[in-house]
């Protein structure tokens, strides 16, 4: 993308008056999206984003500038702008030695989505629309969406990192609305992977459409959810968002350093049920949060955060790691070249256990089975959370019975971890988009079926 000679010159300029650390992040990204709503194409768009972000660090001060001008003068001007924010004028220059370039390339079998015609992508959405509508006469509205991106990045810094990577992601989703005597109900399904267009050789879009429709139709006969504290069984894959939000964010090092996490100072302590091992792993095959390197050029890795209930580590980006005299854990991520990197999760999940999910349900006399969680809110300082249950059922005498209307799941992340008394062997990961400080990045959230001995259900019926 840019020659090593120019990279070297820009970094040298960035620390020419004494910067402690400098980094250049270059990105070239192509993306496209399409949406199909109410039987017609609603939106069809594509875009190209190309530019560089330059960071200079001196003590506790960070200077950052970004530019879409990738010429040598443009990069040097951005380096000067970042340097002017961060530098103290009395320091001395430091030598820059870059390691040999480490380059990651896409496998030959990857089909870059931009090589596929728009008509073919629209036909996928049209087919999902037809399948969803044909499943039931109560289906009155269907929306389907497609998105893809192909991203090339280069990361170099004054610690010697010099790495490039290619990343391709593809996503498809369908949302269904059903109408009945109880009003309107919705169903949603998505598939998203760090793959190219070959993803559609591995997933069944008809099955996605049918699942979304069936979910919406089932909810037409839903009864009000109970209120009060009850045992809750989270279906495998469905509750990963809870552990991502209510526990994962509290294990990011920036929250630890700012003293805004309930997990600060608890390394080595029992913070969860001994059945729980929590991992963040950017190397999980083709999952949505996976990549060869993070956005600071550090190879992705598997980080065990909680092992057998004991807190073992936090997640670290390069800046927080430098200040704490340790290594990055490969969790430095940014939305684009226009953003500073920060500590972010990749694929965060609970390891599976050895019980069968049906056995866990059979051993639950009365409770709620949550097949899908929606969005929620979390206070990282306390771990308190509120999540919406978008598909849930009553458990009666060890059997899943009636569907429940949408309601809230209310609790505390650390307490939930301590109150898990059963973990099944049906592990799966679901894709998501994580927002933090105005930046969004793709992540994976996963777990096997688990039972929580007691969580507050914010329903309208008596528990």
Q: What is the Cα–Cα distance from 5 to 17, expressed in whole angstroms?
A: 20
Mean of pLDDT values over 215-226: 93
Q: What is the Cα–Cα distance from 269 to 395, expressed in whole angstroms?
A: 34
The strand pair at 102-103 and 162-180 is best described as parallel
Residue where a domain stops, chosen among 188, 221, 254: 221
pLDDT digits (tens, 9 = 90+) for 26-59: 999 999 999 999 889 999 999 999 999 999 999 8
Please list, in sequence order, all residues whose beta carbon lies within 8 angstroms of the beta carbon of residue 135, skipping any fewer than 6 positions away.
209, 210, 213, 214, 217
Number of domains in the chain: 2
Co-location of 187 and 320 in the same domain: no
Please name which of 303, 414, 285 lies closest in space to residue 348, comparing C-alpha atoms. 303
Q: Is the pLDDT of residue 90 over 50?
A: no
Which range of residues forms the domain containing residue 419? 226-462
Q: What is the Cα–Cα distance from 78 to 10, expressed in whole angstroms?
A: 9
Mean of pLDDT values over 213-219: 94
Residue where a domain stops, chosen among 221, 239, 267: 221
Q: What is the Cα–Cα distance from 204 to 342, expressed in whole angstroms?
A: 35
Co-location of 321 and 445 in the same domain: yes
Co-location of 291 and 373 in the same domain: yes
Distances (CA, A) of 167 to 151, 290, 327: 5, 9, 24
Q: What is the Cα–Cα distance from 344 to 434, expressed in whole angstroms?
A: 9
Co-location of 278 and 137 in the same domain: no
Q: How confident is the model at residue 107 (pLDDT cuts 50, 70, 90)?
A: confident
pLDDT digits (tens, 9 = 90+) for 410-431: 999 999 999 999 999 999 999 9
Please name which of 98, 181, 191, 175 lies closest in space to residue 133, comparing C-alpha atoms. 175
Co-location of 156 and 267 in the same domain: no
Co-location of 90 and 209 in the same domain: yes
Mean of pLDDT values over 2-30: 92
pLDDT digits (tens, 9 = 90+) for 127-169: 999 999 999 999 999 999 999 999 999 999 999 999 999 999 9
Q: What is the Cα–Cα distance from 57 to 75, expressed in whole angstroms?
A: 17
The pTM for the full model equals 0.93
* 53: exposed, middle or buried (Cβ count in 10 Å: 0-12, 13-18, 19+): buried
Average pLDDT, the chain: 93
Please name which of 260, 353, 253, 364 lies closest in space to residue 309, comparing C-alpha atoms. 353
C-alpha atoms less than 13 angstroms from C-alpha of 286 in its C-beta half-sphere: 18
Give Cα 405 to chain centroid, integer Å.
27
pLDDT score for 93: 46
């Amino acid at each position: 993308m840019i020659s090593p000679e120019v990279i070297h010159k820009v970094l040298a300029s960035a620390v020419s008056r004494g910067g402690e650390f400098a980094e250049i992040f270059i990105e070239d990204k192509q993306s496209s999206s399409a949406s199909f709503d109410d039987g017609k194409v609603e939106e069809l768009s594509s875009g190209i984003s190309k530019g560089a972000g330059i960071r200079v660090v001196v003590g506790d001060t960070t200077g950052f500038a970004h530019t879409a001008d990738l010429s040598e003068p443009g990069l040097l001007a951005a380096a000067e702008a970042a340097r002017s924010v961060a530098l103290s004028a009395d320091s001395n220059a430091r030598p820059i030695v870059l390691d040999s370039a480490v380059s990651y390339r896409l496998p030959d079998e990857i089909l870059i989505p931009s090589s596929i015609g728009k008509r073919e992508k629209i036909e996928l959405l049209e087919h999902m629309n037809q399948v969803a509508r044909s499943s039931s006469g109560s289906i009155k509205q269907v929306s389907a969406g497609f998105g893809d991106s192909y991203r090339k990045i280069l990361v170099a810094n004054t610690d010697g990192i010099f790495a490039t990577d290619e990343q391709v992601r593809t996503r498809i989703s369908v949302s269904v609305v059903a109408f009945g005597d109880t009003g309107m109900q919705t169903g949603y399904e998505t598939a998203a992977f760090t793959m190219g267009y070959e993803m559609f050789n591995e997933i069944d879009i008809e099955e996605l459409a049918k699942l979304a429709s069936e979910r919406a139709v089932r909810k037409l006969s839903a009864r009000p959810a109970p209120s009060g504290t009850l045992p809750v069984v989270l279906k495998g894959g469905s509750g990963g968002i809870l552990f991502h939000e209510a526990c994962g964010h509290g294990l990011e090092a920036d929250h630890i350093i700012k003293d805004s996490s309930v997990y600060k100072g608890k390394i080595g302590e029992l913070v969860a049920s001994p059945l729980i091992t929590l991992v963040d792993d950017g190397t999980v095959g083709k999952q949505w949060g996976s990549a060869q390197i993070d956005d600071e050029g550090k190879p992705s890795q598997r980080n065990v955060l909680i092992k057998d209930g004991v807190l073992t580590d936090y997640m670290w980006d390069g800046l927080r790691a430098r200040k704490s005299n340790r290594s990055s854990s490969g969790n430095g991520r940014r939305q684009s070249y226009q953003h500073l990197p920060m500590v972010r999760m990749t694929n965060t999940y609970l390891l599976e256990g050895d019980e069968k999910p049906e056995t866990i349900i059979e051993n639950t006399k009365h409770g709620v089975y949550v097949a899908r969680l929606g969005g929620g809110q979390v206070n990282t300082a306390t771990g308190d959370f509120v999540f919406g249950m978008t598909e849930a059922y009553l458990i009666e005498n060890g059997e899943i019975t009636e569907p429940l209307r949408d309601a809230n799941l209310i609790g505390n992340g650390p307490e939930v971890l301590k109150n898990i008394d059963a973990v099944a062997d049906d592990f799966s990961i679901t894709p998501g988009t994580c927002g933090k400080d105005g930046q969004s990045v793709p992540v994976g959230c996963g777990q096997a079926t688990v039972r929580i001995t007691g969580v507050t259900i914010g329903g309208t019926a008596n528990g």
